[in-house]
Chain A
């Protein structure tokens, strides 16, 4: 029996005495493509941070590849794209290849120095994401869309088995956003990369993701799109219109 890639058990997280998340339990398997949707402040980003061990839960446990997240050591199996590049120092003097190289740190043992094979890995991912032309440019000189692709390149340069993406399409124009989702679909289908993505782009997530997790401080729905779209309970919770908005793009 294969081990769950992510297993979340009865997670609870409080901030200033209030529940941000409670009773969160779900699991993800190899090759799953899960879209997390929900209103602003529903705890989507917090859930990703809890999964990655970036914040500690008040109750409950998270297992990554069968290992408790607080003892997890297999970081080379995970690629992470944080919310937006706006939080990063815009004047940081770092080239595109220097940033992508940082994505290779997780598979190295201490001391983590770069080798020749790393340069080839960087070149491969630059070509895959169609940003070979900006290899030696400063990150700060790139457009928002290009910066997002560079950060995605950092997340996937290691060939991760699990890709965790936090609102990756926010800074992208419609055309780049479309290309981004096609690329995620390709990674999911061709490399069997499991993807968990927080997004407000219900149209694209409805089209590409295999499962939907609807969050509003607790899990209101977790399952396939087919179930989501057929569910009378979902209709009762959100109304026919909201259900239709998410479901109409899903083939």
Chain B
């Protein structure tokens, strides 16, 4: 008898179809929250990859580890504590590069290691919540609560709205920041808004794939789309489609086969990435 233990209760799943799985409230919650977060990550990811800031997601994810430890120490919800702390870390990366002329990758490395070190230090000093803390490393989308779904969907929608509001400005600074400033775009403020949105996205994503795999959700759909797109708008549309399909299929595949959901989502993204390479090869040889 095959069963899964990833949800709140053990469920017998033999002979169940996808339609049966989707009847479960926790699967519906996972699909809804996951899809919104996927949409958000893929859109932001296109800008991050093209600005050669792909690893900022990784760095901020490590900062999230530290912030989750702080939240557990204070016995508060990790989401509420992580959002302001990771936003501060994001601004820290920006200021290190702008004010102190530290190279971008080095600034990300500094904040990243500081985040991990803080997490380890706090969990070691406080003791007792190591198991909870480490559960955030690999995500637990199937255990997402209704309140968390509402918060994730609301925040994702807000970030997507802000991104669409600044679409032309963001495209402009991504393509050519200097010329953008001469167009009257306030690049300094926009860069701050951009890293704050990235911080928010990283925190929201930790529930979907976990701290260790967040950067995959930001990078893979964007890189996949870049292989096949024919305009900037189509890049965002393809990345969004790939990301949402990967999250939904990852959830639905992980459930019956009792696989870790976060890792399944990343593997689905990777399969799309391989197809995009194949597509590009066939196209260039045609």
Contact = CB atoms under 8 A, between A and B. Distances in A.
A84 to B, nearest CB: 12
A94 B175 contact: yes
B50 interface: yes
Interface string B165-185: 110110110111011111111
Contacts of B165: 111
In this complex, which of A73, A82, A94, A103 has the most chain B Cβ atoms within 10 angstroms of its Cβ?
Answer: A94
B229 interface: yes
A27 B200 CA distance: 48
A35 to B, nearest CB: 20
B185 A105 contact: yes
Nearest to B238: A93
B230 A138 contact: yes
Nearest to A74: B184
Nearest to B235: A93
A232 B54 CA distance: 58
Nearest to B185: A105
Contacts, number: 79
Nearest to B181: A54
Interface in B225-260: 225-226, 229-235
A55 to B, nearest CB: 10
B184 A98 contact: no
Nearest to A87: B176
Contacts of A194: none
Contacts of B225: 93
Given A82-B176, A103-B183, A93 B171 contact: no
B35 to A, nearest CB: 24
Contact of B172 (A102, A113, A136): A102
Given A94-B171, A113-B168, A80 B232 contact: no
B229 A105 contact: no
Interface residues of B, number: 28
Nearest to B173: A102
A157 B282 CA distance: 37
Contacts of B175: 88-89, 92, 94, 99, 102
A112 B232 contact: no
Contact of A102 (B178, B181, B183, B231): B183
**Pairs A-B, 4 closest by C-beta atoms:** A75-B184, A106-B183, A80-B182, A105-B183
29 contacts: A52-B181, A52-B182, A53-B181, A54-B181, A75-B184, A80-B178, A80-B182, A82-B176, A82-B179, A88-B176, A89-B52, A92-B50, A93-B231, A94-B171, A95-B230, A95-B231, A98-B171, A99-B175, A102-B168, A102-B176, A102-B179, A105-B172, A105-B185, A106-B182, A106-B184, A113-B168, A136-B231, A138-B231, A154-B179
Interface of A: 52-54, 73, 75-76, 78, 80, 82, 88-89, 91-95, 98-99, 101-103, 105-106, 111-114, 136, 138, 154, 164
